[in-house]
Amino acid sequence: MAAVANFIYRNAGDITEADQHTDEEEGMFFQRVEFRLDDFRLSRQQIPAALAEMADPFGMRWSVRYSDEQRRVAVLASRQPHCLVDLLGRWHAGELPGRLVLVASNHPDHAELVGRFGVPYHHRPVTPATRATQEGGLLDLLAEAGVELVILARYMQVLSEGFIDRYPSAIINIHHSFLPAFSGGQPYLKAHARGVKLIGATAHYATAELDQGPIIEQDTARVSHRDGVTDLARIGRDLETVVLARAVRLHLSDRVLVYGHKTIVFA
Amino acid sequence: MAAVANFIYRNAGDITEADQHTDEEEGMFFQRVEFRLDDFRLSRQQIPAALAEMADPFGMRWSVRYSDEQRRVAVLASRQPHCLVDLLGRWHAGELPGRLVLVASNHPDHAELVGRFGVPYHHRPVTPATRATQEGGLLDLLAEAGVELVILARYMQVLSEGFIDRYPSAIINIHHSFLPAFSGGQPYLKAHARGVKLIGATAHYATAELDQGPIIEQDTARVSHRDGVTDLARIGRDLETVVLARAVRLHLSDRVLVYGHKTIVFA
Amino acid sequence: MAAVANFIYRNAGDITEADQHTDEEEGMFFQRVEFRLDDFRLSRQQIPAALAEMADPFGMRWSVRYSDEQRRVAVLASRQPHCLVDLLGRWHAGELPGRLVLVASNHPDHAELVGRFGVPYHHRPVTPATRATQEGGLLDLLAEAGVELVILARYMQVLSEGFIDRYPSAIINIHHSFLPAFSGGQPYLKAHARGVKLIGATAHYATAELDQGPIIEQDTARVSHRDGVTDLARIGRDLETVVLARAVRLHLSDRVLVYGHKTIVFA
Amino acid sequence: MAAVANFIYRNAGDITEADQHTDEEEGMFFQRVEFRLDDFRLSRQQIPAALAEMADPFGMRWSVRYSDEQRRVAVLASRQPHCLVDLLGRWHAGELPGRLVLVASNHPDHAELVGRFGVPYHHRPVTPATRATQEGGLLDLLAEAGVELVILARYMQVLSEGFIDRYPSAIINIHHSFLPAFSGGQPYLKAHARGVKLIGATAHYATAELDQGPIIEQDTARVSHRDGVTDLARIGRDLETVVLARAVRLHLSDRVLVYGHKTIVFA
């Protein structure tokens, strides 16, 4: 902590935010420091080498990112529109960092809507038989567009391990339950059958194991015996959109560190 | 609904609260009606027969209870005091209906504290070898005291099926997780390992299947990567006491109907 | 309660939901009953007279509404898009009852977006000098379109008493604070100055007294010393959209009864 | 930040927690650093001078506290027991840092209960005529017991400015509303009259201006038209106890910085 603070101070940087976390069990120290470069003595070209020189003696792992370099984002959706529409609205309103460069879906339904927001829409249908080909096509699409973050906005297709491995800690999924409760399909049906008094939503990074990835954000809402499965789904939609949007914002503000199968969120 | 309302109206009862619920899948109608007896034309002796006469043609199942007849309650606890102390405090402050007639524990720790509140304390130690005998002793104790509700205030012993069958829908347990997530032992350890962003507590009726009984009340609280297992336990204690107290109050106000493995809570 | 239940039962209606509330201080009884007309013995033409005959002896005030008769809705907005976009998305996704027939605004900003959703957009600029004329124009617009509910989706113009009187309990406003805290202008600035640890949003019916109308729905979200005024506004936007949408849904499902300057919400 | 981190590093301290906050409007930087002294090169006697030498060139204001030096705490209560009982239970369970050295009240009601917990109870009745004398007596009592934190656990007497000035940022009050809504007396009555859908509780430092002190912690709970004033009070009691306990814990863990009329809470 001293070394990093000294490095910034010595080079006339201006720290605007700093967060630390010590994992005592693992003996690991985590830090996120945000600083202004207005009078910084090093150019962006010089920073990596200078950082490495400071960091290496301590065995630090580090990365640096500039807040004016917007990341390129893709959204994958299926039939349900609520998370997709919500994200479109937020980018339209200037609420989210990053730049939405494409939407892809296995359904044609949202072509017109997405087009209205001036974002390219790619309809990529899929059947069990064509899954590998469709995924290959999606990967090409994402690669050509230089996508750095993939958002699964209620995309109902299971992605292969090969797909997921191409975007480590860079695919955010929204699951419509309070994980680990009701993982897998039809969580609202399961929640109704169990008679829970709260439902939840969980935004997490996609990993090869379904619904097991590092959790970024969760929230719950109160329900009662009066709420049937469709009521749970309706109440849940508001949770899903808000939880997903918060997770996307945290990721694109570089506030999420993935560590093992957990996250550190410097909110 | 019409028949019940007519019955009360005809006999000069005064409805103060009424709640209905229709389970359309099962084709079942549920109702809770609270009414004043000030000018009621029937005596308490006459009410059951008159109710049966009204209800039988519709195939209704019914029960009636008088709010001035306090139920007798026992609390079972282990080493952790927070739920027990909270319940003692609430009865002391007159916040809970019912009458606490005894506390039993497999540990001697709370004898003095419970004694200070003027409630009998029964220390009933248990080992794997003596479990059946200890349970038998507890059942005798509860029977002698005429107990109608048993509260497991973080009682850490698994009760046998035989014990539970003696108090159907009349044993309330508090589980320190948002069930069905983290059922079984050490939920805070599991929650920490999974990296959840919320922890929960669940009050439910005990049934033969551990942590599977009908849920009465649940709540969650926000946690972060900064919170170790002991922090989760500390934050969770406030959830546990409040969720358990709410469930006890709902039960003792006859606001909980058990139906299958779920509850209808007319809060 | 008996009289209404009998009336429906006698005419072969099928009650699907019923809620009652007794205000003991005022000696008033409130009831909302939802029932199916599948085999109902009375036609829609006959229902009002039959209801009146049943209700008059008790001095009941009543109204009846058919769930297949969609109400006509207008949204007024100013520069901020979030509530407007959210409502457009919900109607697009089929989540809200009623029919959005027009959007009007004192700014031209949203013309394109609203047009994309196929909804007429009326730009009605206003200055202090032209306020009366602009309001007159708006009233004509609403009258011509047969509007029955007006939603103020962060419409930043104060409406005159004359305007509000034309839509009693039919103008829903979203205020960006937990009323009665921070009524009037710039609530986030005031909340930041006071150092609150939660911010809120309040949906209420507009009345002649600013921010004093009957509250339909409220919610709060946690903030901290780290959140500047713009952070509060960002966190608050999610509250505003969700709270407003819930209130609109409750109103359009006829679940809100206005009584004095308060509401009864049969959720 | 660099200077402090260097100071600790140079002296072989081990930072376990660090939090920073920059108030950009005021141009102020705040920091809380927690570190272990196991191998620290300076004794407790040497630390203040060494800290001053490091801090003075930067114009820092600082204080240092040792987590093994428990602070002495007094609780003032009136007739309502819930916050008092809750705090007694928490200290009994070892949940709160600090040491409860006395309870004082203008009512005799809690003498027996507090005595059971082994804490001295001082009954100090008060009338409008005797207020100054009673306060003087209380101040003597607190001074003799070396009290460093005074908790107003629903103490319903307004304290004079002179009293409050003796304990700057060291008197914590719990107000039974979401301040600044419903400041002053009878907040539940006012909340009921206004028809709010949430009630709240606020823990704040007492200052000469009633209910205007820096807010430490707040929370809200959902209510409905069904809840009369006594229901609001009942629901509110759980909020009050939990919010007050959280604030006390934050204060006694030195996580609250008072700055102007606001707080920075390094939770």
Task: Mark yes or no for CB contact D2/A17 under 8 Å.
Answer: no
Chain C environment of D220 (Cβ under 8 Å): 178, 198, 200, 220
- A120 burial (CB, 10 Å; 0-12 / 13-18 / 19+) is middle
> In this complex, which of B82, B92, B234 lies closest to D85 when CB atoms are compared?
B92
In-domain check, residue C67 = no
Same domain (yes/no): B166, B118: yes
In-domain check, residue B190 = yes
Q: Is D49 part of the contact surface with chain C (CB cutoff 8 Å)?
A: no
Provide the token pair at D123: 């009954």
Task: Mark yes or no for CB contact B82/D92 under 8 Å.
Answer: no
Average pLDDT for chain B:
95
Q: Which residue of C has its CA nearest to B1?
A: C5
Task: Mark yes or no for CB contact A18/D1 under 8 Å.
Answer: yes
Catalytic residue (choose from B56, B86, B140, B211): B211
In-domain check, residue C63 = no
In the stretch 64-83 of chain C, residues with CB closer than 8 A to chain A read 80-82
- Which residues of C are known to be catalytic? 211
Same domain (yes/no): C165, C54: no
Residues of chain A with pLDDT under 50: none
Q: Tell me, what CATH number does C230's domain have? A: 3.40.50.170
Q: Which structural domain range is residue D133 located in?
A: 72-265
Same domain (yes/no): B167, B236: yes
Catalytic residue (choose from A38, A109, A140, A211): A211
Chain D environment of C226 (Cβ under 8 Å): 21
In-domain check, residue A64 = no
Asked if residues C149 and C216 have their Cβ atoms less than 8 Å apart, the reply is no
Q: Which of B29, B58, B87 is the last residue of a domain?
A: B58
Same domain (yes/no): B52, B95: no
Same domain (yes/no): A51, A163: no
Cα gap D249→D237, rounded to integer Å: 18
- Give the Cα-Cα-Cα angle A34, A40, A45 (nearest 5 degrees): 90
Q: Is B107 part of the contact surface with chain D (CB cutoff 8 Å)?
A: no
- Among A23-27, B232-236, C65-69, the minimum mean pLDDT is found in A23-27
Same domain (yes/no): C180, C105: yes
Q: Tell me, what CATH number does C28's domain have? A: 3.30.70.260
What DSSP designation does C178 have? S
- Give the Cα-Cα-Cα angle C252, C119, C79 (nearest 5 degrees): 90
Q: Is B116 part of the contact surface with chain D (CB cutoff 8 Å)?
A: yes
> In this complex, which of A181, A220, A226 lies closest to B180 when CB atoms are compared?
A181
Q: At what angle do helices A2-10 and D2-10 cross, to 10 degrees?
A: 140
3-state secondary structure of C250: helix
Q: Which amino acid is at B239?
A: L
Cα gap A217→B193, rounded to integer Å: 15
C199 - beta bridge partners? C221
Provide the token pair at B58: 């519709």
> In this complex, which of A81, A93, A116 lies closest to C116 when CB atoms are compared?
A116
A38-75 pLDDT, tens digit per residue, is 999 999 999 999 999 999 999 999 999 999 999 999 99
> In this complex, which of C196, C214, C218 lies closest to D198 when CB atoms are compared?
C218
Neighbours of chain A (3+ CB pairs under 8 A): B, C, D
Q: Is D118 part of the contact surface with chain B (CB cutoff 8 Å)?
A: no
The confidence band for C25, taking pLDDT boundaries of 50, 70 and 90, is: confident
Cα gap B37→B13, rounded to integer Å: 6
Chain A environment of C219 (Cβ under 8 Å): none
Greatest pairwise CA separation for chain A in angstroms: 63
Whose structure tokens read 């406030």?
A: B238
C168-186 pLDDT, tens digit per residue, is 999 999 999 999 999 999 9
Q: Is C9 part of the contact surface with chain B (CB cutoff 8 Å)?
A: yes
pLDDT score recorded for residue A192: 96
3-state secondary structure of B190: helix
Backbone angles phi, psi at A233, to 5 degrees: -65, -40
Task: Mark yes or no for CB contact A15/D18 under 8 Å.
Answer: no
Q: Which residue of B has its CA nearest to D231?
A: B95
Q: Is A8 part of the contact surface with chain D (CB cutoff 8 Å)?
A: yes
Task: Mark yes or no for CB contact C95/A242 under 8 Å.
Answer: no
Same domain (yes/no): A244, A148: yes
3-state secondary structure chain D: CHHHHHHHHHCCCEEEEEEEEEECCCCEEEEEEEEECCCCCCCCCCHHHHHHHHHHHHCCCCCCCCCCCCCEEEEEECCCCHHHHHHHHHHHCCCCCCEEEEEEECCCCCHHHHHHCCCCEEECCCCHHHHHHHHHHHHHHHHHCCCCEEEEECCCCCCCHHHHHCCCCCEEEEECCCCCCCCCCCHHHHHHHHCCCEEEEEEEECCCCCCCCCEEEEEEEECCCCCCHHHHHHHHHHHHHHHHHHHHHHHHCCCEEEECCEEEECC
C88-118 pLDDT, tens digit per residue, is 989 988 889 999 999 999 999 999 989 988 9
Same domain (yes/no): C87, C30: no
Question: Measured between CA atoms, how close is C191 to chain A, in angstroms?
Answer: 20
Q: Which of D33, D58, D83 is the last residue of a domain?
A: D58
Q: Is B5 part of the contact surface with chain C (CB cutoff 8 Å)?
A: yes
> In this complex, which of A6, A16, A22 lies closest to D16 when CB atoms are compared?
A22
Q: Is C21 part of the contact surface with chain D (CB cutoff 8 Å)?
A: yes
Chain B environment of D116 (Cβ under 8 Å): 113, 116-117
Neighbours of chain C (3+ CB pairs under 8 A): A, B, D
Task: Mark yes or no for CB contact B182/A180 under 8 Å.
Answer: yes
Residues of chain D with pLDDT under 50: none
Give the pLDDT mean for C38-60: 96
Task: Mark yes or no for CB contact A21/B226 under 8 Å.
Answer: yes
The confidence band for C203, taking pLDDT boundaries of 50, 70 and 90, is: very high
Task: Mark yes or no for CB contact A89/C89 under 8 Å.
Answer: yes
The confidence band for B24, taking pLDDT boundaries of 50, 70 and 90, is: confident
Cα gap C211→C204, rounded to integer Å: 8
Task: Mark yes or no for CB contact C225/D262 under 8 Å.
Answer: yes
Same domain (yes/no): A113, A33: no
CA D80 to chain CA centroid, nearest Å: 19
> In this complex, which of B85, B92, B95 lies closest to D92 when CB atoms are compared?
B85
Pairing type for strands C262-265 and C256-259 reads antiparallel
Same domain (yes/no): C230, C127: yes
User: How many Cβ atoms are within 10 Å of B126's Cβ, its own excluded?
Assistant: 18
In-domain check, residue C242 = yes
Same domain (yes/no): C116, C31: no
Asked if residues D33 and D51 have their Cβ atoms less than 8 Å apart, the reply is no
Q: What is the dihedral of CA B62, B67, B72, B77, to 10 degrees?
A: 90
Q: Is C8 part of the contact surface with chain B (CB cutoff 8 Å)?
A: yes
Q: Which residue of A has its CA nearest to C239?
A: A242
Catalytic residue (choose from D211, D219, D227, D238): D211
Chain D environment of C228 (Cβ under 8 Å): 24
In the stretch 169-228 of chain A, residues with CB closer than 8 A to chain D read 222
Neighbours of chain B (3+ CB pairs under 8 A): A, C, D
Task: Mark yes or no for CB contact B16/C6 under 8 Å.
Answer: no
Backbone angles phi, psi at D22, to 5 degrees: -110, 125
Task: Mark yes or no for CB contact D15/A1 under 8 Å.
Answer: yes
Ramachandran assignment for C72, one of left (phi > 0), alpha (psi -120 to 50 degrees), beta (any other): beta
C125-143 pLDDT, tens digit per residue, is 999 999 999 999 999 999 9
In-domain check, residue D66 = no
The confidence band for B110, taking pLDDT boundaries of 50, 70 and 90, is: very high
Task: Mark yes or no for CB contact A82/C95 under 8 Å.
Answer: yes
pLDDT score recorded for residue B25: 81
Give the pLDDT mean for B135-150: 98
Q: Which residue of D has its CA nearest to A27?
A: D16
Q: Is D242 part of the contact surface with chain C (CB cutoff 8 Å)?
A: no
Chain D environment of C180 (Cβ under 8 Å): 181-182, 194, 196
In-domain check, residue B63 = no
Annotated active-site residue A211? The verdict is: yes
Task: Mark yes or no for CB contact B218/A195 under 8 Å.
Answer: no
When divided into structural domains, chain A yields a total of: 2
Question: Measured between CA atoms, how close is C161 to chain A, in angstroms?
Answer: 32
User: How many Cβ atoms are within 10 Å of B157's Cβ, its own excluded?
Assistant: 17
B48-87 pLDDT, tens digit per residue, is 999 999 999 999 999 999 999 999 999 999 999 999 999 9
Same domain (yes/no): B51, B29: yes
pLDDT score recorded for residue B147: 98
In-domain check, residue A66 = no
Task: Mark yes or no for CB contact B93/D82 under 8 Å.
Answer: yes
Work out the percent of chain B whose per-residue pLDDT is above 70.
100
Task: Mark yes or no for CB contact C218/D224 under 8 Å.
Answer: no
Q: Which strands make up the sheet holding C121-123, listed edge to edge?
A: C121-123, C99-105, C72-77, C149-153, C171-175, C198-205, C215-222
Distance between first and last Cα of chain A: 19
